[in-house]
Each structure stands twice: as C-alpha cells, then as structure tokens.
Amino acid sequence: MEMAGNLIAEFGSLHNLMSADYPTLCAQKGLGESKYTQIQAISELASRCSFSHLAKEGALCNPKITREFIYNILSHREREVFLVLFLDNQYRVISHDELFIGSISSVEIHPREIVREALKVNAAALILSHNHPSGQAEPSEADNLITVRIIKACALLDIRLLDHLVIGHGEYVSFAERGWI
C-alpha cells in the first residue's frame, strides 16, 4: 500500500500512473515487467467495468457523460487515436472501438472501415472522436474534411453521425455543439 501511495504521489494521479509507458514505469524502484503488466491489466479491467456499467444503463446517451467517457480514454494518449462509439436506434451504446492509431500529429482515417464496422454491429448511429496529443482541441481542416466524408458515407446506409469530438488537454470541441453536424 505504501508503494502504491508513493507511485500515485510520484505520477500526480492514479490516472497518470495507469497511463505511464513501460520505460517510465519500470524506471521506478521496485517495478519491473511483471508490475507493469499488472497495472495495465488493472487499467483495462477498470475501463471495461466502467464502460459496461455506462452502456448497460444507457448513460452514454447523456452528452456530458459521453464526453467524460471519451476524454478518459483519449486524453492521455501520446499518439492520435480515432475512437468510434457504435449506437443502436435508441442511441444506446453497442460497442466502442479504437479503429485507427496514428502518430503524434496525425492519424489516417478510412470512412469505408468505419462504415464496415458499423454494419458489422448493426449500428444505427455513431459518435466519432479523436485526440490531439498537442493538447489543442481545435479541429484542423483535415478533421473537418474527413468528418464530411464520413457523414456522406454513413448517409448512404442510413447511419446517423451524432457528433465528432476532438479531445485536447482539459478541453474538447464538439462538432454537434458548434452546429457542424
């Protein structure tokens, strides 16, 4: 317990500790590959538990809780990650998937793959999201263009795009809130 308290103090928060990469964590006294693997497993279990509870309750239909859920997944990532929430016709979450992982400054997104995954799980609607590791949540022109392409691809198959969230450090931008969707 003392080690856990010291690690949380060292990393500033439990979230930061659980998000630490292998070299950073293993540089700490008393930590090696085994402890790193345990911490990663605990982090994954906590995430799945949180998601299953929220999805079961339908709580992700609330925009604030949806943003918090996505923020918790993406805000600490060091590379751009494109996450999609797949929803049924009542806007309950069916599943979520990190479909694309890029570099520190970009991620290549394929609308065809998004639509294919949506059809696989019989999704009626989607919420898109990705992070900006730079910390600035303001969408780029590329973000705007790919969102329009995805909207058009989904519309052909009667799949509704509800929002596209861009996550920065302590901030987000919602395409829906800005009236862009």
Domain boundaries of the chain, sorted by first residue: 2-43, 59-174
The strand pair at 160-167 and 125-131 is best described as parallel
Q: How far is CA 17 from CA 43, 66, 114, 129, 134, in A?
A: 10, 23, 32, 24, 20
Q: Which pLDDT score is estimated for 65?
A: 81
What single-letter amino acid sits at 40?
Q
| Run means of pLDDT, 10 residues per run, the chain, 181 residues | 73 70 77 78 72 59 81 89 94 91 93 98 97 95 97 97 94 95 92
Q: C-alpha 136: how far from its chain's center?
A: 16
User: Which pLDDT value is given to residue 51?
Assistant: 61
Task: For residue 111, count other CB atoms closer than 10 A to its CB.
Answer: 16
- pLDDT (0 to 100) of residue 168: 94
What was the pLDDT predicted at 176? 95
Dist. CA 6–CA 177, nearest whole Å: 41
- Domain 59-174 CATH (choose: 3.90.1150.150, 3.90.1150.10, 1.10.3720.10, 3.40.140.10): 3.40.140.10
Which uninterrupted H or E stretch holds 114? helix 111-120
Residues in the chain: 181
